[in-house]
Amino acid sequence: MPTLPDTTIVNLHRTSSSPLCIARLEGIAWRISEDTNEAQELRIGDQISRGETVALAPQAVLEAGSLRLLGGSKGQTHSLVKEGVFRPNPSRSDVPRLLLQLAQIEEQMSSLGEDPLAVREGPETAFERAASADFARCNLVPQAARELPEEVARQEGAVCLFVNEDTAFVAMSDLSVPKLRAVMEALERPINPHMIEADLLEELLERVYGLAS
């Protein structure tokens, strides 16, 4: 039996009070008892509910309702919490301050000698590339995507996948300070970058805006 991932580090996911039925499960996942810390293996058709903790083995994928949990490279633990338990940080009210900070970093980049965000790693392994692409395709909401003007999307190489309260989740094939500032300025929201491959970015741009003229 695979070793359980570290249960002291937990990813939080806001869910409604209704139980969620597991519709897809690749790999192994467990329901962790809060009282005894015992693990019960989950299967497709089982239900998970708010207040429960779910652990996934490395590379595992679990989907229940709109929830999508990943095991990652080393296994991960996830906890389902009330919808109002936490809010995104930063919020939209922080955008002017964040834009100012990014502009200041841009001014300093000549002396820094490099873009501090350019070192952000994208998907590397075949599994990471597949998981990244699957997440982008499954979570693309065209209505939310069109909040980012086409001109900015094509010029910067970015597609807004969806919006979660104040935060916009944006697919990019590469990241830089100027790009982050331009996209954040256009959306007027904090940005959570989702790194994808360049050919997938072109596919998403076509799905949202159609073929370039």
Domain residues of the chain, as ranges? 10-82, 92-209
Single-letter amino acid code for the residue at 86:
F
pLDDT at 162: 92
Indicate left, alpha or beta for 91 from its phi (over 0: left) and psi (-120 to 50: alpha): beta
Which stretch of DSSP H or E encloses residue 172? strand 167-172
Distance CA 205, CA 203 (A): 6
- The answer to whether 161 and 194 are in contact (CB under 8 A) is yes
CATH hierarchy code of domain 92-209: 3.30.300.160
The pTM for the full model equals 0.57
List, for residues 44-59, the tens digit of each pLDDT value: 999 999 889 999 999 9
pLDDT at 33: 83
